[in-house]
Structure 1
Amino acid sequence: MHALSTKPESAGSKHTDPRVVTFDDEAFDDILEAISCATARAILQSVTDEPRTASEIADSVDTSVQNASYHLTNLADAGLVRVCDSPVYSEKGCEMTLYRAVDTELRLETTT
């Protein structure tokens, strides 16, 4: 899938305790806003098991690269997605950005 590179460790390979965000946490509203759209939720789910490029994400959720990039920015701002540190290169030698989910499990709690 990604030529000339080894994929970074996939997001779902380590089991960690769920991230808990409570109603009074500043991140609560950011997270709800970022996942309010079905496309954004599909994008988040698509990068949970393995890192992907914006183009791969767009193809997997049947949207444009521009729309996927918009949602990836919102998801990253909410702390749900991050850019992988390991550089990946296309067959033409162009550096590509890989995105992955930060948490494999997230719990939003309305009680404080």
Structure 2
Amino acid sequence: MGWKDSGLVFTTPTSGPIDPANMTRRFGRLLDRVGLRRIRFHDLRHSTATLLLEQGVDLVVIKELLGRAHIGVTAGVYAHVRLRLQRQAIDCLNNALNGTEEPPDHPPAVAVVR
């Protein structure tokens, strides 16, 4: 019996769900092997959503990718990112209206991984 599509993103070789403790261990070893600091596997979800939002992907699309039922949860969790992007948009508009080509005082928003 080989692997078959079960609708899961990560599976065992026989298409079953991966035990969360095993996933955590394997992810930790992968981070160690490539020299990255340890983060929770779940933090990848937040980083993905943040990066997509910063690239202009609609919040409704991000909500659907995250599998959330209500957009309010997604909007609330990523409100700080949206505020930062709004600030950058205002700075860009200010620069355009003032005829300045200078970038804003702060760098582009980045994903924060805790």
After TM superposition, the score normalised by the length of structure 2 is: 0.31
**Greater share of strand residues, 1 or 2?**
1
Larger Rg, first or second structure (1 or 2): 2
Instruction: Say which structure, 1 or 2, has more relative contact order (CA 8 Å, 6+ apart).
Output: 1
After TM superposition, the score normalised by the length of structure 1 is: 0.31
